[in-house]
Each structure stands twice: as C-alpha cells, then as structure tokens.
Amino acid sequence: MRATLIYGAGDIRVENVPDPRIQDPTDAVVRVVRSCVCGSDLWPYGSRPATEEGERIGHEFLGVVEETGPEVTGPKAGDLVVAPFAYADNTCRFCAEGLHTSCPRGGYWGQNGVDGGQGEAVRSPWAQGTLVKLPVGEDSDLLPSLLTLSDVFCTGHHCAVTAGVDARTTVTVIGDGAVGLSAVLAARRLGAERILLMGRHEARTALGRDFGATDVIPERGDEGIARVRELTGGEGTHAVLECVGTKPALTTALAVVRDGGVVSRVGVPQYEEGPAGYEMFSRNVTLTGGVAPARAYIEELLPDVLDGTIEPGRVFDRTVDLDGVPGGYRAMADREALKVLIAP
C-alpha cells in the first residue's frame, strides 16, 4: 500500500510500504477513508533533522475495519470507525479515569512500528479499546466533522474542559489555527458567553466568530495583552486556552489570565521551561492541559456532531489525495491552508 513518510524538515514523501496485517490478537486492520494533517505535524516538518530512513506520519484518521484479531469482539469488519490520535486498551486504571494518553499499553500512531494515519491503511493495536464505531456510511457528508473527533476538536475540547470553562467563565483563546478555532467552538459548546480570540488571519478569525468568538484581537505581544485587559475591565479572563505551543504564546496566556484563573495549553510545547515565578504565584494562576485523551471524549461529543449542533469539520479548507499530501503540508506550513483533509 501507499503511505506518507517524513524524511526531514520539508521532506514529505508518499511511498509504497508493506500492507498492514494482524500481528497481535487485539489488532484490527483499518482501511483509511479520511485522514488529515495536524498542526503538530508541522513541528517536525519545520525542523526535523534529515534521515536516510523515513518515518511514518499522521495520527488522525477514520476508516472501515477490514479484519480483526481473535480477541477483538467489536468493532467488526465493515464498521466505519474513528481512531483517537493515541491508541489505548481502554481497560486500565488510567483509561478508566479518562486519561487514555497515559495508558501503559497505549502509544501514538506512526511510532514504534505502528502505522501512521496518512496512508491507505493502518494496523490498530488494542482495536477494541481504541476504535469507536460511527453510525454513518463512508459516503456521509459528516466525515470531516467526525474526523475531528480523532484529534483537533477533542483537543480543543480538552483545553476548554481542563480550563474549567462553563457559562460563568470568560475565555481567551490564543491561536487561530485549527486547534484554536476548535477550542472556541468547544468553549461555546460548554456555555461560555464571552470568548476572546487572539489571531490575525482574517479568514480564520471569521470562522472563529462563526464558532462563537465574541471578540477578535489581532494584536500580539504587549499590545495584544493590553487589548485583552482593556476588553475585560483590566482583569483578564478566567480561562485562557493556549493553542499554539510556543513560549511567547504561553507568556501571553499567563499575562491575560485573571487572578485565580486557569491557563490550559494543548499545543505541543516548543520549550522546556516556562514562567513560574512570583507573578504567577501571587495571582494564584493555574497551568494545566496537556496532550488530549481524545478517546475519553468521543462518545460524549459524537451526538452533537451527528445532529449538526456543531460542525467542527469546517476547519478543513482543502482536500487532497495521497499524492497531494506533500503539497498539503506546504500549504499548511505557509498558512495558505488552515487544515488539509486527505481522501486517500
């Protein structure tokens, strides 16, 4: 079959790779129907050292189960399923607590001999715990929104949940990428009535407004901070959803959060240390968030996607086939595309 590999910064190739097959009795093989490129894929795309051997990439997909191992009693061959971006057994104590990303038997697609999602098919470890059956056909118009349950919308939701967003919280979202816009939609869904979106890409912030942002702040740095404070009576917002992953974004987040408030971050941190000194301490600011246990949220979010209450799939603004994947990466890296859908 064909699948996407990364050989280094800027070097994405689609090549022939071995067909996946059942290796463990808990495996399933899934034919990929839709996949996509994640903002976090852009970090290695921007900086990964060149290597002789490529590494499989892609961690968001939905598809049709082709075959299951003998210990998988569901899903079954023929089922359309969505995969969270981390596989997990869904039976251990961490999974039971909703922290599937810490499952001792779990892991990430594209690593340690597990297939990446940007290809024609994937072997899924722990298929029964990992894959969630979708009650639609593979021709459904809902596929883009359903695919966001694999990562991007669940990540925005995780950000809002860990920040404690509800109808009483004011919210700042930092970042107008697909995760930031998903965080806006998630915060609105959780009841937030005041959502400030920090972003400067007009097409994206327009979608952010559709998703529920009440104010858009294009300014960055000190100017952006001043603007948020001005809009919130000098106080900042109860929750700040940091959806970028850079240190300046974290610094901004800590500067626009209200005393006693929460900064949640879901962008993969591109830093080792962050501000943690007296300023944060004296204002009782909490830093939370992390890699989203998407699996924990899929069943909860699925009904709202199925009935059209939310349309998180609107973050996709370009569709490519497998041959178009390298161009899709370029378009996202150049901010020409917000998020690229792959129909293999």
List 72, 99, 134, 184, residue binding a second copy (CB under 8 A): 99
Using CB under 8 A, which of 42, 136, 142, 291 touches a second copy? 291
Q: Does 275 bind a second copy (CB under 8 A)?
A: yes
Contact present, 137 and 41 (Cβ < 8 Å): no
Nearer to a second copy, 3 or 262 (CB): 262
Q: Which stretch in 5-13, 147-155, 181-189, 274-282 sits in contact with a second copy by CB under 8 A?
A: 274-282
- Is residue 97 close enough to count as binding a second copy by CB under 8 A? yes
- The residue among 140 and 288 lying less far from a second copy, judged by its C-beta, is 288
Q: Decide whether 260 or 303 has the Cβ nearer to a second copy.
A: 260
When asked if residue 269 is in the footprint of a second copy (CB under 8 A), the reply is yes
Side-chain-side CA neighbours of 237 within 13 Å: the count stands at 35
**DSSP class of residue 114?**
P
Bridge-based pairing of strands 80-83 and 61-68 is antiparallel
Residue 68 φ/ψ region, left for φ over 0, alpha for ψ in the -120 to 50 degree band, beta for the rest: beta
How many residues bind a second copy (CB under 8 A)? The answer is 33
Residues 129-168 that bind a second copy (CB under 8 A): 162
| Contact with a second copy (CB under 8 A) among 117, 289, 326, 344 | 289
Q: Which helix (H) or strand (E) holds 221?
A: helix 221-231
Per-residue string for binding with a second copy, 180-219, x by CB under 8 A?
A: ----------------------------------------
User: What is the separation of C-alpha 247 from the centre of its chain, rounded to a whole number of angstroms?
Assistant: 19
- Applying CB under 8 A, among 116, 119, 293, 328 the residue interacting with a second copy is 293
Please list, residue by residue across 236-270, b when 16 or more beta carbons sit within 10 angstroms of its beta carbon and e when fewer do.
bbbbbbbbbbeeebbbbbbbbbbeebbbbbbbebe
Q: Are 343 and 321 in contact (CB under 8 A)?
A: yes
**What's the CA gap between 318 and 311, in Å, rounded?**
16
CB closer to a second copy, 15 vs 259: 259
Binding site for a second copy (CB under 8 A): 94, 97, 99, 101-102, 162, 250, 259-260, 265, 268-269, 271-278, 280-291, 293
